[in-house]
Amino acid sequence: MKPETNPTDAMITCDRLTHRFHDGSVGICEVDLSVSEGELVIFAGANGSGKSTLLRHFNGLLLPTAGEVRIAGKPVREDLRWVRQFVAMVFQDPESQIVGETVWADAAFGPENLGFSGEKIRQRVQEALDAVGLTAKADQRPHTLSGGEKRRLAVAGILTTNPSVVMFDEPFSGLDYPGVCQVMEQIRRLRAQGRTLLVSTHELAPVLPLADRLVVLDAGRIVRNAAPVDSLQDLESLGVRTPCPACFGRDG
């Protein structure tokens, strides 16, 4: 899905974004940020630093208390339906994203919800399950999949609506090594397709070699925003484990 708006606009812009919760606590405080089309940006920071809260503004799951978020130049609050097709999110807990009785039904939920024709739904679901390697499990109950497979199913679900921006919230949490590799394979493939990728994680090592930028949050504010190689000093003081030196380079 391509933007209908001015091609010179950044893919994502936050202009003094602040989010205050109902209890009065501040989740995000005066964040300015710009992400270009095709960038892979990591969002790191200690638990509670505001990573999930920030990402949730990019597809309108949360709306700003003050400031503005724009996607391809368009304010998020103006058209939530459009934004949610354009910007998709793989949630931290893949169980919470399962809605279908079978793998196939689960992947079909998005295009069904958008009112696509039966043939288009069938085609999109088939392509998406092929892309994540779950075609052989199409009739299986999603809850019986492994952790890595559940995340792959979540990726299949979002692929069916062809989003330009894909957000992963803590994509490695709870996964064993093969699960991490499976998720990284999907991230590499989405990147090769030119999609804009936002990855919230405190596990930097798997994804750092692919990243264009590392943004670090602390108490709802951006405290680092630079190429990974320029953002890695004193990460421990911000609650982020410094990855091994071999991860600092880029492997494209």
Ligand X SMILES: Nc1ncnc2c1ncn2[C@@H]1O[C@H](COP(=O)(O)OP(=O)(O)O)[C@@H](O)[C@H]1O
Nearer to ligand X, 49 or 85 (CB): 49
- Among ligand X, Mg ion, none, partner that 94 touches (CB below 5 to 8 angstroms by kind): none
Min dist CB 165 to ligand X, Å, is: 18
- Among ligand X, Mg ion, none, partner that 53 touches (CB below 5 to 8 angstroms by kind): ligand X
Min dist CB 171 to Mg ion, Å, is: 11
Q: Which of 23, 119, 236, 251 binds ligand X (CB under 6 A)?
A: 23
Nearer to Mg ion, 52 or 162 (CB): 52
* 201 touching Mg ion, by CB under 5 A: no
* 201 touching ligand X, by CB under 6 A: no
Letters for 52-71 (x = contact with ligand X by CB under 6 A, - = none) are: xx------------------
Answer yes or no: are the C-beta atoms of 159 and 131 closer than 8 Å.
yes
* 52 touching Mg ion, by CB under 5 A: yes
Q: What is the DSSP string of the chain?
A: ---SS-TTS-SEEEEEEEEE-TTS-EEEEEEEEEE-TT-EEEEE-STTSSHHHHHHHHTTSS--SEEEEEETTEEGGG-HHHHHHHEEEE-SSGGGG---SSHHHHHHHHHHHTT--HHHHHHHHHHHHHHHT-GGGTTS-GGGS-HHHHHHHHHHHHHTT--SEEEEESTTTT--HHHHHHHHHHHHHHHHTT-EEEEE-S--TTTGGG-SEEEEEETTEEEEEE-HHHH-TTGGGGT-PPPPGGGSS---
Letters for 81-120 (x = contact with ligand X by CB under 6 A, - = none) are: ----------------------------------------
Answer yes or no: are the C-beta atoms of 169 and 90 closer than 8 Å.
yes
Q: Which stretch binds ligand X (CB under 6 A): 19-27, 79-87, 154-162, 224-232?
A: 19-27
Min dist CB 160 to ligand X, Å, is: 26
Neighbouring residues of 245: CB distance < 8 A, sequence distance ≥ 6: none
Min dist CB 104 to ligand X, Å, is: 31
Q: Which stretch binds ligand X (CB under 6 A): 17-25, 31-39, 171-179, 243-251?
A: 17-25
Letters for 34-53 (x = contact with ligand X by CB under 6 A, - = none) are: -----------x-xxxxxxx
Q: Which residues bind Mg ion (CB under 5 A)?
A: 51-52
In the complex, the residues that contact ligand X under the rule CB under 6 A are 21, 23, 25, 27, 45, 47-53
